[in-house]
């Protein structure tokens, strides 16, 4: 390193030589005549050793300061500029070090801080600025990729609040079938019947056309009404429950699309209560059990007997029923139930009835709970006779959002 040293050398020489100077004045212990002054002003004055050392130290400080303005490694930066090592041209000024701040310990940063340093200040610091992507660093349940829930908060930090929880829209199953859905009370219901042929994980659900085989099933299956592809699909209760084999140790499958499920008996009751309490019943004295909401849930289509593919309602002479005046009075709730019939020991009740499985099994072995609309009844019925409870029966299926 280049140093400013001439002045220091001269002072050192003067210090050595001063020990032998003799001047008129006070006689020293060695019988030398000297002038002992702390601040010499005359050319002949001698200086004390401590004064000379003080002067050298002061000059050395000035030399060091001057050296800080010298670019010793020719990298364009001096120590005064902040060069971290003025002997190494590859090392220049301090780096900017960043550290992410994760206040809620959810693994995502809500902010960062930075400082300048020649060396890494500590663990977690990096010269690369960390991504700030936690939109609420005080709540560990809110972070990028979190599950969005319906709470008027952006849970997954994507800039959208409650996405996927619109009042209406569509949802698709694993087979690519699309289902319209609407909001009824605080529930989201599909208004189209299930149409998939695979469980959510892609496991096939077998189509079973033979009646004897169908009646003896204890695993999931589906069929078209009358085994005609122009007609809607019906499912046994085992498919609803995801029972795909007879091994009790095998986990059951999911029938509904991701984020949805087959409604339980209690969820159907919630639907019934909402429709009764909010004016959808044709009788003001209606209750959840004696509900008079059939007309409000039925599709507004009249039966067409000319061929397959139509599942409108048979005519009824009773007002307030799905078959009385379908076009003008049906479906005020938007539930859109078609008269899709059922499969028992054969296919029955197309045009006159709609049956829906619940996800709830009966306390009786081999049975499941269901709902029923009839063209000539004002009610949404629960359950039924033993015959209509059987899990091997083929009914329609709807979904409600998780």
Q: Label each residue of 231-281 as H, E or C.
A: CCEEECHHHHHCCCCCCCCCCCCCCCCCCEECCCHHHHHHHHHHHHHCCCC
Residue from 354, 183, 378 nearest 281 by CA: 378
- The answer to whether the CB of 400 falls within 8 A of the CB of 261 is yes
CA distance 167 to 70: 72
- The answer to whether the CB of 171 falls within 8 A of the CB of 212 is no
Per-residue pLDDT of the chain (402 residues; tens, 9 = 90+): 444 444 444 444 444 444 444 444 555 556 655 555 555 665 555 566 777 788 788 878 777 766 667 777 777 777 776 777 778 877 777 788 899 899 999 999 999 998 888 888 888 898 898 888 999 999 999 999 998 877 779 999 998 887 766 788 999 999 999 999 999 999 999 999 999 999 999 999 999 999 999 999 999 999 999 999 999 999 999 999 999 999 989 999 999 999 999 999 999 999 999 999 999 998 767 676 678 999 999 999 999 988 777 899 999 999 999 999 999 999 999 999 999 999 999 999 999 999 999 999 887 777 899 999 999 999 999 875 555 679 999 999 999 999
CA distance 202 to 237: 19
CA distance 349 to 388: 13
What are the DSSP calls for 8-40, one per residue? HHHHHHHHHHHTT---SSEE-TTS-EE-EESS-
Residue from 265, 242, 262, 245 nearest 254 by CA: 242
Buried b (16+ CB within 10 A) or exposed e, 44-75: ebbbeeeeeeeebeebbeebeeebeeebbbeb
Residue with tokens 């610091």: 125
């Amino acid at each position: 390193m280049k140093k400013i040293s001439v002045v220091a050398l001269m002072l050192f020489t003067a210090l050595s030589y001063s020990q032998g100077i003799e001047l008129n004045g006070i006689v020293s212990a060695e019988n030398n005549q000297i002038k002992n002054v702390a601040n010499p002003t005359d050319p002949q004055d001698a200086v004390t050793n401590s004064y000379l050392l003080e002067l050298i130290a002061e000059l050395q400080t000035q030399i060091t300061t001057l050296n800080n303005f010298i670019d010793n490694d020719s990298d364009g930066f001096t120590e005064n500029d902040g060069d971290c090592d003025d002997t190494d041209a590859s090392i220049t000024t301090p780096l900017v070090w960043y550290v992410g701040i994760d206040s809620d310990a959810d693994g995502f940063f809500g902010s960062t801080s930075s400082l300048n340093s020649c060396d890494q200040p500590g663990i977690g610091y990096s010269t690369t600025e960390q991504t700030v992507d936690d939109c609420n660093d005080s709540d560990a349940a809110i972070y990028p990729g979190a599950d969005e829930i319906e709470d008027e908060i952006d849970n997954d930090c994507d800039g959208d609040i409650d996405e996927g929880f619109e009042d209406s829209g569509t949802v698709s199953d694993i087979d690519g079938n699309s289902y319209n859905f609407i909001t009824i009370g605080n529930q989201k219901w599909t208004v189209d019947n299930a149409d998939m042929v695979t469980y959510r994980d892609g496991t096939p659900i077998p189509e079973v056309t033979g009646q004897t085989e169908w009646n003896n099933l204890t695993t999931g299956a589906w069929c078209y009404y009358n085994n005609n592809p122009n007609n809607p699909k019906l499912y046994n209760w085992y498919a609803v429950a995801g029972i795909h084999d007879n091994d009790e140790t095998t986990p059951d499958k999911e029938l509904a699309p991701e984020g949805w499920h087959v409604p339980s008996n209690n969820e159907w009751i919630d639907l019934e209560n909402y429709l009764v309490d909010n004016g959808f019943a044709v009788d003001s004295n209606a209750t959840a059990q004696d509900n008079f909401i059939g007309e409000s849930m039925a599709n507004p289509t009249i039966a067409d007997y000319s061929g397959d593919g139509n599942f409108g309602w048979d005519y009824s002479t009773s007002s307030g029923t799905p078959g009385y005046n379908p076009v003008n009075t049906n479906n005020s709730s938007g539930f859109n139930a078609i008269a899709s019939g059922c499969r028992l020991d054969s296919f029955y009740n197309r045009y006159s009835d709609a049956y829906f499985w619940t996800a709830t099994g009966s306390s009786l072995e081999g049975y499941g709970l269901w709902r029923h609309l009839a063209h000539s009844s004002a009610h949404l019925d629960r359950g039924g006779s033993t015959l209509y409870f059987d899990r091997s029966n083929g009914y329609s299926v709807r979904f409600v959002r998780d």
